[in-house]
């Protein structure tokens, strides 16, 4: 009885040792090697991602500068306009050289026009400045749309390659024979979706920042119109007082 127990324990230990030896060793996934299995489409996706990152960083820097509000700009313009010194206000705006200051500089040049014409000129220049800020955004939008399509293209070409290899193999079908096509199909799909998702998030973020800059422009334009109205009213009152003084004399 004791001998049977010893034999059973020996068999169990041998089976466990064999199982441990037969257990495959899992290797870590190298992202770069995996991406290279996606074929030539992954190269295009990599170029699109690099270009998209460049556009995002460049636009982010421009929009960040555009959102910096000068607290003295409108006060300086107010003082110059009230002192009938439009030239100094224009020079100050040109010195700052920001989207808002360039818009206001145009409005100051048209100061002698009526309010409606001044407002129209300001709106036209604001539209031009917004168009400059939106430069590059269509590129991100295009990348967001094209990248997933390229990924799906890689899926199709990969599956075509896998079936072509399967047809040529005949009855000697092996999983390793089909792996390259399947890798290309799956990896390009993932790559296209990742690039597209990142691009659409970047695009929407920049659009939000452009909207914020546009709101700041609108607020400063309204304030400038109020300054112009105040100046014109002050001039009318001064003219009335001068005319009254002349009548009395």
Q: Encode pLDDT of 175-198 as tens digits.
A: 565 565 666 667 788 888 999 999
Residue 98 is assigned to a structural domain of this protein: yes
pTM above 0.85, yes or no: no
Residue 166 is assigned to a structural domain of this protein: yes
- Measured CA to CA, the distance from residue 52 to residue 59 in angstroms comes to 11
Residue whose C-alpha is closest to residue 187's, from 37, 31, 4, 32: 37
Better-scored residue on pLDDT, 29 or 39? 39
Residue 10 is assigned to a structural domain of this protein: no
Question: Average model confidence (pLDDT) for the chain?
Answer: 78
- Measured CA to CA, the distance from residue 184 to residue 189 in angstroms comes to 8
Kindly tell me if the per-residue pLDDT of 33 is higher than 50: yes
24-28, 110-114, 153-157, 164-168, range with the lowest pLDDT: 24-28
Residue 93 is assigned to a structural domain of this protein: yes
Residue 33 is assigned to a structural domain of this protein: no
Helices 99-109, 86-96: inter-axial angle, 10-degree rounding: 160
Residue 232 is assigned to a structural domain of this protein: yes
Quick one: pLDDT at residue 173? 60
Residue 6 is assigned to a structural domain of this protein: no
Q: What digits encode the pLDDT tens for the residues 197-207? A: 999 999 999 99
Residue 2 is assigned to a structural domain of this protein: no
How many domains are contained in the chain? Answer: 1
Domain enclosing residue 90, as ranges: 42-237
Q: Which band of pLDDT confidence, cut at 50, 70 and 90, is reported for residue 208?
A: very high
The answer to whether 41 and 187 are in contact (CB under 8 A) is no
The answer to whether 143 and 195 are in contact (CB under 8 A) is yes
Q: Taking residues 140-168, what's their average pLDDT?
A: 79
């Amino acid at each position: 009885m004791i001998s049977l127990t010893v034999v059973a324990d020996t068999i169990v230990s041998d089976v466990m040792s064999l199982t441990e030896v037969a257990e495959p060793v899992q290797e870590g996934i190298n992202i770069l090697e995996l991406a290279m299995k996606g074929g030539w489409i992954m190269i295009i996706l990599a170029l699109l991602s690099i270009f998209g990152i460049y556009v995002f960083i460049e636009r982010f820097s421009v929009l960040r500068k555009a959102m910096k509000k000068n607290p003295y700009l409108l006060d300086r313009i107010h003082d110059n306009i009230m002192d009938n010194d439009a030239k100094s206000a224009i020079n100050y705006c040109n010195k700052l050289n920001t989207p808002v200051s360039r818009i206001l500089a145009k409005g100051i040049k048209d100061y002698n026009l009526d309010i409606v014409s001044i407002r129209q000129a300001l709106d036209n220049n604001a539209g031009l400045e917004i168009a400059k800020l939106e430069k590059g955004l269509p590129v991100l939008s295009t990348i967001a749309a094209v990248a997933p399509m390229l990924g799906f293209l890689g899926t199709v070409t990969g599956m075509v390659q896998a079936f072509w290899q399967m047809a040529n193999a005949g009855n000697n079908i092996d999983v390793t024979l089909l792996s390259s096509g399947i890798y290309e199909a799956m990896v390009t799909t993932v790559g296209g979706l990742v690039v597209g998702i990142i691009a659409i998030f970047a695009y929407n973020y920049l659009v939000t920042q452009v909207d914020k800059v546009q709101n700041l422009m609108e607020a400063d334009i309204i304030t400038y119109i109020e300054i112009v109205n105040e100046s014109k009213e002050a001039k009318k009152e001064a003219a009335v007082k001068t005319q009254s003084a002349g009548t009395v004399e």
